[in-house]
Every structure is written in C-alpha cells, then in structure tokens.
Amino acid sequence: MQINIALSGFGHVGRAFAGLLAEKHTDLTRRYGLDMRLVLAANSRGAAHDGGGLDLKFLESLAQGGELADMPGFTEGLTGPEAVALSRASVWVEATPSHAKASFEPGMSNIKKALGDGMHAVTLCKGPLVHNFAEIMGIAQAAGTKVKYSGATAAALPTVDVAVNSLAGSRITSIEGILNGTSNFILTCMEREGLSFAQGLAEAQRRGIAEPEPSLDVEGWDTAYKLLIIANTLFEKTFSLSDMAVEGITRVGAADLKEAGNSGGTLKLVGSAELRKEACVLKTGPKFLPFEHPLAGVSGTTKGIHFVSDTMGPLTVIGGYSNPRGAAAAALKDIISLYML
C-alpha cells in the first residue's frame, strides 16, 4: 500500500523524520506492507514536490543538513494551505515549531486544511492542539480523518497510546508525568552537584540541552502543554490552559532539593491530572516525590509517566530518546498506527 506523506517544517525534527523515511523505507515495506513516499516537503520559504515521491538520497541529505531549496522541484513561496492542497497526500506531518505561547501558526491552518481535504494529520507541533483541541477533533470527525500526536505528547516516551491502547477499558484516575527533559536535567544537576537554578540552567545550556531562551521549558509551559493534550484525549472534557495552575522550576533552589532529600524524596517538575469525584484537577509544578515513587528515580533528560487506573492499578512508563530521532520515530509510529493497528 502506497502512503503519500507531506512534511511541513525542517528544523531538527523534520530533518530527522525525512532521514528516517529514507532509512526505514525498505523495512517498513517489508514488515508492514507500507510503501511510504514523501511527496511534499515544505519549510517557511517554499516546498519541494514530487507526486511519485522525493528521491530517498535527497531525504538522506536533508537529514544531514542539506538545504530544501536546493532540491529539484523546489518552488519558492509554495507554503501553507496552497502547499497542503497541492500535496494530495494521505498523511500531513506538521513539524513546524509553535512553541511560543501565543502563536500556533502555520501549524493550525495547515492541519485544518489537511484534515478538511481528507488527509490524516500527524503533528509534532503542540500549539494547535493546546489552543484548539476540540475544533481540530471536530474537523477530523466531520471529514472522517484522524489526528495523531505522539510527537506532541512526549514523543518517544509513549503516553497517549499506552493510555488509549494498553489501558483500554479501564478508568484512569490519576496521571503524573515528568514530561520535560530539560527541566528534569537541570533539577538532576542541581540535586547532584548542589547547584543553584541559574547554575543548573547554565550547565544545561553549555551541553546544548537547554535552549538559549529556555522559558517554555523551565517555566513549566512545555509540561503543561503536553499534560493538557493528554488530559483532553483521556478525560471526557476539553480543558484549556486556564484550567491549570502552572509553575516551573525557576524558584527551586539547591536548599529545596536538599530538604526534599532529607525528607526521603526528591523534587521533580510534574504535570498531574487527578480525578476527584466528578472533577479533574490539572496542575504543573515542582512536586515532592518520595524515593519509593516510581518516577522518583527518573533523572537527567529522561522522561516518565505514571498512570493509576481502576482495573489495572499503577502503571509507569519511563524512557524513550529525548532527541530529534526519537521525536521523528514517534511521528513514524503514528503513521503506522493509522494504517496497521
């Protein structure tokens, strides 16, 4: 079965995804019978298009930092809904950044257009789901298309699909997640080396783990975004950011971590959702986890999520690469799940 894929966004993750399509092409065809072709690749300047599938060698060169504009068939200015329409893809993959609190374009317009035109959408970009979850799901339902977003909900750490597939039929009563690798790395540094937040952040930046402008990670927003999308998927209500208290780790000090240790635990940046009677309480902030808590040992850039359900009890998932390759693999998994699972 031939699957035509269009990809929007050529940051680290978009490049890794293009590379993965080339690397895995033969294997995916053999194992799943899915012949995945990248028919359109778009960045903010334009798009390369080939209805028969862009050359695999070119995808490999993109993964290694090649320029999309050097691609034969690149059309300057071909972007947004016009590119979506031209692609005639089966699956639209959105890998543009939409990290800024206010901005969720071009992802939002692309995804809406793709779904409305009968394509499935796989998004690594959180903004549209954070700001317009119900609207996007409504468009997909009306069009008979599907939206998958593992790449926007902790990527190589499976969160939504474990809850939806592995806990199917159970009632999830609480979720706790260490969902941001950067913050967790900083807290781990602070705890182990007795550093201040500023020192921990500097160390994370020196290692290329924290962005030069780290506020979305360290102020808790990235965690809150992921938790919100997970909660909107799993609970039968649509929440918005204003339903959640959000605090980051900027006010955590070495003394707080030391005190937590003396009290038999540690401090982690936790996004949590808890069913209390009929209400679901969402929260993002530093949380004391006793050492016996299954997430207490999750350190460095590793992420983890802990579910409690009525019939299957406590379940913890930890790990998955916190890098562009892991995120690209999460998007690839989503595409496979559209056709195989």
Residues at the contact surface with a copy of itself, assessed by CB under 8 A = 20, 24, 27-28, 32, 156-158, 161-162, 164-171, 294, 297, 311-321, 325-326, 328-330, 332-333, 335-337, 340-341
Note whether 140 and 115 are within 8 A (CB): yes
Is residue 226 part of the annotated active site? The answer reads: yes
Considering the complex, state which of residue 246 and residue 270 has its C-beta at the smaller distance from a copy of itself: 270
- From CA 334, how far away is CA 328, in angstroms rounded? 10
Calculate Rg over the CA atoms of the chain.
20
Least separation in angstroms between residue 81's CB and a copy of itself is 29
Considering the complex, state which of residue 131 and residue 148 has its C-beta at the smaller distance from a copy of itself: 148
- From CA 212, how far away is CA 214, in angstroms rounded? 6
Q: Which of 112, 126, 148, 226 is catalytic?
A: 226
- From CA 251, how far away is CA 105, in angstroms rounded? 31
Considering the complex, state which of residue 5 and residue 84 has its C-beta at the smaller distance from a copy of itself: 5
- From CA 259, how far away is CA 256, in angstroms rounded? 5
Considering the complex, state which of residue 31 and residue 251 has its C-beta at the smaller distance from a copy of itself: 31
Least separation in angstroms between residue 108's CB and a copy of itself is 27
Considering the complex, state which of residue 162 and residue 254 has its C-beta at the smaller distance from a copy of itself: 162
Considering the complex, state which of residue 19 and residue 46 has its C-beta at the smaller distance from a copy of itself: 19
Least separation in angstroms between residue 155's CB and a copy of itself is 9
> Helix (H, G, I), strand (E, B), or coil: what is residue 105?
coil
Least separation in angstroms between residue 28's CB and a copy of itself is 7
Least separation in angstroms between residue 109's CB and a copy of itself is 28
142-145 contact pairs (CB < 8 A, 24+): 143/115, 143/116, 143/117, 143/118, 144/118, 145/114, 145/115, 145/118, 145/119, 145/120, 145/121
- From CA 128, how far away is CA 105, in angstroms rounded? 8
Note whether 125 and 97 are within 8 A (CB): yes
Least separation in angstroms between residue 287's CB and a copy of itself is 19
Closest to 270 measured CA to CA, from 184, 196, 189: 184
- From CA 247, how far away is CA 256, in angstroms rounded? 15
Show which residues are catalytic: 226
